[in-house]
Structure 1
Amino acid sequence: MASPQAPVTSLLSEARGKNAQLENAQVVPGTRSIDTEATFQHWIYDMIIWCLSVVFDLFFREIRPRGAYRIPRHGPILFVAAPHANQFIDPIMLMRQIRNEAGRRISFLAAEKSMHLKFVGTVARSVSSIPVARAQDLAAPGTGLIYINDKEKPLVIKGQGTKFMKECDHGETIILPKSLGSAEIASIVSDEELILRRPFKDEKAIDHLLSGPSKFKRAPKIDQSQVYAKVFERLNDGGCIGIFPEGGSHDRPDLLPLKAGVAIMALGALEQNPECDIKIVPCGMNYFHPHKFRSRAVIEFGPPLSIPKELVKAYSEGKKRESVQELLDMIHNALLAVTVTSPDYDTLMVIQAARRLYKPAHKKIPLSLVIEMNRRLVIGYTHYKDDPRIIHLREAVANYNKQLRHLGILDHQVEYATFPILEILGKLVYRSLKLFVLSLGALPGVILFAPVFIATKKISKVKAAEALKASSVKIAARDVVATWKILVALGLAPALYWLYALLATWATWKYDLVPQVRPVWLVTVAAMIVFPAITYAALRIGETGMDIFKSLKPLVTCLNPNKVNAIAKLRITREELAKEVTEMINSLGPDVFPEFDSHRLMQS
């Protein structure tokens, strides 16, 4: 990113001058006060958050904040959130929790590309989002292929059929495929040779280029001075800025490298005004199956970070690269403390299984504690991953997961193997009848809302495929699925209910279905209340029914003579694994967490 100092100073001075004029304008008769304008903006902000919160409460079964008491009630705050699992949902979710828990309002940095979307752009502008042009959004495929010829010279990039002189310029960025990283161009020697300012950070990127020619993208250098100026102004006025420092949404189980912009914003604002005392609050966006309807989320807030004065001084004295990197490391460590990250998806599945095995049977624990247990298990696993005991235990837990998938049951359903056959049969009959009754109750709402369900599923799949094709960091593009499901539902559901209401009104007028209702437009009003209510009732009934439906398969499996022995063996395997996992955690836990025994998360 470009150095913001000179242009930022002038823009900041201009902005402060305008603010001073507006403040003076309050004493002039007939002039609208700034307080009135600010109140109106706050009202718009709160209305949008409230309206979208209603939709989010329908999509998510449970949303819980954790550690919200840590949020400062006054002064400038830079909220840094990760992982960025949903492009549209994450900022609204965070804005809602911070508004409800701390009474603060945030201005988020939003990708300029997203601001061009009709609905998203309107919402973003209404909540005072700051548009940011991102290099990856402007990246274009480069002609030819690139490679490194000599491992001892990682700065020298060679080309085959490339047009560096025509297509590239110094200061621009070369981006490798498969999330291998990017590097800035220092100079261009010829059409088939250029020099990087610094080598690619990841050794895998260098190995990739050494192994043979690779495709690449080129991204222009972007001047972000105006963005920095707006951020500095907001922070110096005591406001709140929100940013996802990974730079883009993704569906990976670990954090992406943080962009330098977040550190430049914090250090630059303190360089402009050392007395503004900016706090950085890490926010962990922890989701359980975020792409699925009626999933769960925990938003965790970590302790506020104060930026050391020595770091600001070093930044002011020209040691910008070192200062920015040190602050990025601080932010990264703070985010690790409030998020559940793992090196890969399989490891995360094993960690979650170990957490379930460690939990005492029949004991329900709050969602926020589940997140904390997952995080500690990830830390412990990372610390002891090369220990033969942990390697053996991982293989055993992974094999247990595989057996669960083979039998088509969930971990908490293994207990059914302990029930007598008659008891299992009784449960199966009772739950089947209950599911039938619930299905009848939910049927009208399901029929009414079916077009929305079908449209959201199809459109979200198409958008996910498009996002996956265009991205180098996504695994299955599940980060855009929930976003598009909500966006499509927001647009289609009201239109569908209006159509139902108009059809009901027309039928009432045409066939005199309700003679006593006059005027007929009252039917429209009633329909716009009744039809959504029927759908919401179906949602709540269907949620219970789906839980019952999922419990039927293991009951049927337990009645299958061919699988009774397999399930009985699996129950014994679970008991042994639970004992082994518990002993391992209780044995190694104090070495990783000194306060393990005195602050035990789960009492047996």
Structure 2
Amino acid sequence: MTGNSAATQNGKVQENTNGRPSEKYVSAGSSLRSIDKEQGYRTFCYDLVVWILSVAFDLFFREIKTRGAFHIPRDGAVIFVAAPHANQFIDAVLLMRQILVNSGRRVSFLTASKSLKQAFIGPLAKMSSPIAVDRAQDLAAAASGTIQIKRRDTPLEITGQNTKFTKELEVGGLIMLPKSLGTAPIAEIVSDQKIILKSGFKDKAFDYLVSGPTSYKRCPKVSNSQMYSNVFSHLHNGGCIGIFPEGGSHDRSDLLPLKAGAAVMALGAASSDPNCKVKIVPCGMNYFHPHKFRSRAVIEFGAPIEVPKELITEYAKGGEIKHKAVSEFLETIRQALLTVALTCSDYDTLMVIQAARRLYKPAQMKVPLSMVIEMNRRLIVGYTRYKDDARIIHLRKTVAAYNRQLQHLGLLDHQVEYAKLSTPAILGKLAFRLMKLVVLTLGALPGTILFGPIFIATKRISNKKATEALKSSSVKLQARDVVATWKILVALVLAPALYWVYALLATWVTYRFDLFPEIRPVWLITLGAMIVFPMITYAALRIGEVGMDIFKSLKPLITCLNPNYFNAMVRLKRTREELAKEVTETINVLGPEVFTDFEKFRMIHAAAVEESKKNV
């Protein structure tokens, strides 16, 4: 702000001709200070939420890595698009943390209005400066009568019985089928017993409607004009927006169809303000068993995408040209996400890919977690291209058979190497590990007992929430995407309460039996207990982690000692050696055809280089 309209100049309040601050400028200066104070408060709340939840995440996850953080723009308008959305509320906070740590920027995530009203999640979400989004599905209500599709050749025509379409429905609204079979938008309301859909139901939902009348719910037409206005304003001011373009969280191995919102936001913001240079940053949310305690995560940021000027021009024209521009840019976003997200057509294929990666990697080499993601991604790209090749078909069958043998023997791939050990060596390893396990168990026992109620509560509540989520979703397979979220949320609520109970109990016992007469006042016992008990639990966590790894290694050693299985182990080891050779040869032959930089940036070579840098 410059000239007479400025409230300040060179950091000083403007004065009138009498040498006193002008009332107009004093008022403007006060407003600026108020805005700065409010912004400071929001920043504090945002950082506090990220810090609190980061502590919980560091306990839940064994390892959280970031790749490509240098791609994050340090200034200007940015839309972070993240996928796959595999962990309900965890994904957003993990991204907020990594972006804040690596670039100092804060992100406002689009959040369902329904989530902002939840008892515990709502207040935390509001502290992170979200942008509320109204979803029609969250406003669903029971509707009168039943509906069905009477003819397969008219899939968009819905017929009702005892329905009140003209009174209860509206054009642009949705009808929702039971059993989480999906929704469809309404294009025309012909009468109380007939409506025309804009796009029809598919697969099971369509067959369900054709098979006979069914109850349904109605969803009102929702206008998100205010939401888009808030997004555009935020971007025009150089802010950051976060969005999960799949819409909701899921536990599938591939991406869900992307919603158009991210493309509309980018094109709309650029179209309404030519000076707004919006950039899209794709973010891959890659997890290893995301629902399990002490799992691993890799967050990868891709190269920023600038909005093409020609698409901005087409978007501004409106109509079909506008929709075409949105679809084209949405496909650009999808392709960018595929470069950073680990996706696969199905779970079985993903298991084969991961086994092939382990077979390709030399047994003695330790590959960094971030490189594991890259190796898996490249193998998926190669498999997708050559999946109909006879060599790949044969290799898939043999690798899948190897996986089944491992499962039958209860082994992990790296444990097959035990088959080459002599019986005395196996006995020595087994005895040493058993003694070590006993010591670690004794060390972890106090903390395990203290935290035991939390473990039980988190498991039961998270499983219950997963069951509820599975019933209300048409895209989830086992609803594992909500398990980790509820484990962390339950622990955040119950752990402090439980430790307070322990601390007060310790204080009472100390006071009642006068155990430490030299410590006065007794509230010092309470304070000390609130420090010591969490430390004992954390120690048990780390000790138990090592102990669990040792425990898992006992079974293959015992299997090797069993005469009935020893020969099977030896054969499995021979199978692995032959299979590893075949996998390596196939990758080395086909790899250069898929990746032009295969020889220069060979995966194993890159992994070795990255590991050597880490050890320097």
TM-score, normalised with respect to structure 2: 0.90
Other-structure match for 2:171: 170
Amino acid at match of 1:34: I
Aligned to 1:18: none
CA distance change for structure 1 residues 391 and 32 in 2, over 3 Å: closer, same or farther?
Answer: same
Q: 1:140 to 1:37 in 2, by over 3 A?
A: closer
Instruction: State the alpha-carbon separation in 1 of the partners of residues 25 and 108 from structure 2.
Output: 25
Q: CA deviation at 1:182?
A: 4.3
Does 2:494 match 1:531?
A: no
Alignment of 1:541-552 (within 5 A): 541-552=543-554
Change (3 A) 1:419 1:177: farther
Q: Secondary structure at the match of 1:194?
A: strand
**Contact 1:60–1:295 (CA under 8 A) maintained in structure 2:** yes
Tell me if structure 2 keeps the 8 A contact 1:149–1:158.
no
Alpha-carbon deviation of 1:29? 5.7
Structure 1 residues 215 and 419 mapped into 2: Cα distance closer, same or farther (>3 Å)?
farther
What residue number does 1:373 align with? 375
Q: Look up the match of 1:482.
A: 484
Aligned to 1:85: 86
**Counterpart position of 2:304:** 304
Mean CA deviation greater in 79-88 or 30-39: 30-39
Alignment of 1:7-156 (within 5 A): 27-28=28-29, 32-140=33-141, 143-147=145-149, 149-151=151-153, 153-156=154-157
Q: Is the 8 A contact 1:26 1:32 kept in 2?
A: no
Partner of 1:260: 260
- The 2-side partners of 1:69 and 1:451 are apart by 42
CA RMSD of aligned residues (A): 2.2
Report the CA distance shift for 1:347/1:520 in structure 2 as closer, same or farther (over 3 A): same
Match of 2:16 in 1: none
Deviation of 1:163 (Å): 5.1
Q: Identify the residue that residue 336 of structure 1 maps to in structure 2.
A: 338
TM-score (norm 1): 0.92
Structure 1 range deviating more: 404-413 or 216-225: 216-225
- Do the aligned partners of residues 325 and 511 (structure 1) sit closer, same or farther apart at CA in structure 2, a change above 3 Å counting? same
Could you report, residue by residue, the CA deviation over 1:429-476 in whole angstroms, capped at 9, with x for unpaired residues?
100000000000000000000010010001111111111111111111
- Name the amino acid aligned to 2:456: I
What's 1:278 paired with? 278
CA contact (8 A) 2:188 2:195 kept: yes
Larger Rg: 2
Aligned to 2:432: 430
Residue 34 of structure 1: CA displacement? 2.6
The residue that corresponds to 2:442 in the other structure is: 440
Residue identity opposite 1:440 in structure 2: L
CA distance in 2 between partners of 1:119 and 1:397 (Å) = 46
With 179-188 and 327-336 compared, the bigger mean Cα shift is at 179-188
Over 3 Å counting, the alpha-carbon distance change for 1:217 and 1:391 in structure 2 is farther
Letter in 1 for 2:548: M
Q: Which residue of 2 aligns with 1:503?
A: 505
Comparing 202-211 and 95-104, the one that deviates more:
202-211
Provide the C-alpha distance between the structure 1 equivalents of 2:66 and 2:133, rounded to a whole number of angstroms.
Answer: 28
Deviation of the 1:39 alpha carbon: 2.4
Q: C-alpha distance in 2, partners of 1:192/1:526?
A: 70
Residue 324 of structure 2 is aligned to residue 322 of structure 1: yes
What do the CA deviations read for 1:139-172 (whole angstroms, capped 9, x no partner)?
A: 3566534336243x44334456765445432111
Partner SS, residue 342 of structure 1: coil
Cα distance change on mapping 1:167 and 1:394 into 2, 3 Å: farther
Deviation at 1:276, TM superposition (A): 0.6
SS at 1:258's partner residue?
coil
Q: Secondary structure of 1:539's match?
A: helix
Taking structure 1 as reference, are residues 320 and 405 closer, same or farther at Cα in structure 2, changes over 3 Å only? Answer: same
1:511, distance to aligned residue in structure 2 (A): 0.6
What is the alpha-carbon distance in structure 2 between the residues aligned to residue 445 and residue 32 of structure 1? 49
Q: Name the % identity.
A: 64
* Contact 2:279 2:307 (C-alpha < 8 Å) held by counterparts: yes
Separation in 2, partners of 1:33, 1:542:
50
- After superposition, the Cα gap between the structure-2 partners of 1:395 and 1:163, relative to the gap in structure 1 and judged at 3 Å, is farther
The 2-side partners of 1:385 and 1:538 are apart by 46
| Cα shift at 1:88 | 1.4
Contact 1:80 1:282 in 2 (8 A): yes
Identify unmatched segments of 5+ residues in structure 2.
1-23, 609-616
1:589 aligns to what? 591
Paired residues of 1:144 and 1:161 also in contact (CA < 8 A): yes
Q: CA deviation at 1:92?
A: 0.6
Q: Is the CA contact (8 Å cut-off) linking 2:179 and 2:472 kept in structure 1? A: no
Cα distance in 2 for partners of 1:296, 1:82 equals: 16
- Determine which of 342, 350, 356 is the counterpart of 2:352: 350
Change (3 A) 1:65 1:310: same
Structure 2: distance between partners of 1:112 and 1:29: 33
Q: Which moved more, 1:543-552 or 1:564-573?
A: 564-573
Describe the shift of the 1:469–1:224 C-alpha distance in structure 2 as closer, same or farther (beyond 3 A): same
Higher mean alpha-carbon deviation, 580-589 vs 101-110, is at 580-589
Q: State the secondary structure of the residue aligned to 1:79.
A: strand
Between the aligned partners of 1:160 and 1:422, the Cα distance in structure 2 is 78
> Which range moves more in the overlay, 103-112 or 210-219?
210-219
Whether the 8 Å CA contact 1:26–1:33 is kept in 2: the answer is no
Equivalent residue letter for 1:421: T
Measured against aligned partners, the alpha-carbon deviations of 1:180-231 in whole angstroms (never above 9, x if no partner) come to 764321112244432222455x677667766777776543211101111111
Unaligned regions of 5+ residues in structure 1, if any?
1-22
Alignment of 1:385-534 (within 5 A): 385-534=387-536
Please list the CA deviations of residues 23-68 of structure 1 after superposition, one character each: whole Å capped at 9, or x if unmatched.
9777536973433332232122112211211111000000001000
**Which amino acid is the alignment partner of residue 300 of structure 1?**
E
CA distance in 1, matches of 2:584, 2:124: 48
Given that 1:111 and 1:131 are in contact with CA atoms closer than 8 Å, whether structure 2 keeps it comes out as yes
CA shift at 1:539, angstroms? 0.4
Output the CA distance in 2 between the equivalents of 1:310 and 1:106.
28
Tell me which amino acid in the other structure corresponds to 2:419. Answer: A
Do the aligned residues in 2 keep the contact of 1:357 with 1:578 (CA within 8 Å)?
yes
**SS of corresponding position for 1:246:** coil
Q: Which amino acid aligns with 1:101?
A: N
The letter of the residue matching 1:132 is V
Letter in 1 for 2:304: P
**SS in structure 2 opposite 1:264?**
helix
User: Cα distance, 1:96 vs. partner?
Assistant: 0.2
* 1:29 to 1:482, Cα distance in 2 relative to 1, 3 A: closer
CA distance in 2, matches of 1:179, 1:308: 38
Counterpart Cα distance in 2 of 1:338 and 1:416:
36
SS in 2 for 1:32: helix
**1:373 Cα shift?**
0.9
CA distance in 2, matches of 1:529, 1:158: 66
Cα distance change of structure 1 residues 134 and 281 upon mapping to structure 2, 3 Å threshold:
same
- Cα distance in 2 for partners of 1:417, 1:567 equals 6
Contact kept, 8 Å, 2:81 with 2:243, in 1: the verdict is yes
CA spacing shift, 1:488–1:296, aligned 2, 3 Å: same
Distance 2:491 2:499 in 1: 11
1:195-234 to 2 correspondences below 5 Å = 195-199=196-200, 217-234=217-234
CA distance, structure 1, for counterparts of residue 506 and residue 516 of structure 2: 10
Deviation at 1:508, TM superposition (A): 0.9
Counterparts in 2 of 1:493 and 1:301: CA distance versus 1, 3 Å: same
Distance across 1 between alignment mates of 2:173 and 2:419: 62
Query: Which residue of structure 2 aligns with residue 359 of structure 1?
Result: 361
Verify the 8 A CA contact 1:25 1:31 in the aligned structure 2: no
Which stretch shows the higher mean deviation, 203-212 or 284-293? 203-212
